[in-house]
Copies of this chain bind each other. A is one copy, B any other.
Amino acid sequence: MQRIALTVEFDGYGFCGWQRQKNGPSIQEALETALAVIDSSPVACMAAGRTDAGVHGEAMLAHADVRRERYERSPMAYVHGVNQLLPEQIRVLGTRAVQADFHARFDCRERAYRYQIWNRRTAPAIERWRHWWMPRPLDIADMNKAAALLLGKHDFSSFRAAGCQAASAQRELRQLRVTQSACCVCIDVRADAFLYHMVRNLVGSLVRVGVGKWPVERIQGLLEARDRSQCAETAPAHGLYFTNAIYDVFESRQIISRGDA
């Protein structure tokens, strides 16, 4: 067998999230089913992160053990074969061979997400499934001031969902930056790892600041309170994109096949 890392792009609309569930189609199930057909035997996949229902993936990283001879004959043909078996909402962008003990989740040093907001008086007609619509004007400078208060190692209990199973709520937030281009407001966020609903709760709270409902300083108090009930509403899933998984020797964004191999 050969362990491989796969970078996967997916439109999360209509899926119950990355992880296999009983209540609906998942990205993991679709990918494992396609790999099993190619390999003629069951294949298990592990990913860098579990995304919620409706969240999109631009470059999710998964690992799987596959038949070495089939993969090595032509990695690109292998990718094309898997893609032909996947629904059109999911595509493997590329693969690379990794060591037998590589683990997509445990070896991941940093995850990156982007949250997209459509900030305009009227709802988006074209981008309606790709952004959270926010009709009230956002103060980007204030949002960035609030974001700066959250950077670093903290207990993020105020931003974790009730169902979160992580043993510790301590995470290191390494980037939280708000930028605007025309009516699109993007929030880029990076951390060693994230708690359940943490990105969407961070976004919901920054938006409260952005629309002027909360003063910037309230974010400091919220962080220190370690109390989810003081947090803002969770931002909707369809504006969230998993954008990168960073490992010691590569990033998921880099595993995108460009050549003719």
Q: What is the interface of chain A, defined by CB distance below 8 A to chain B?
A: 9-11, 56, 58, 76, 79-80, 83, 88-94, 120-126, 128, 130, 137, 256-259
Contacts and interface: CB of A to CB of B under 8 A. Distances in A.
Say whether chain A's binding surface is mostly helix, strand, loop, or mixed: loop
A121 to B, nearest CB: 5
A258 B126 contact: no
A122 B9 CA distance: 10
A83 B122 contact: yes
Contacts of A88: 123, 125, 128
A15 to B, nearest CB: 11
B125 A11 contact: yes
A17 B93 CA distance: 33
Contact of A122 (B91, B123, B259): B91
B9 A126 contact: yes
Contacts of A10: 125-126
For A79, A94, A121, A125, which residue has the most chain B Cβ atoms within 10 angstroms? A125
B58 A121 contact: no
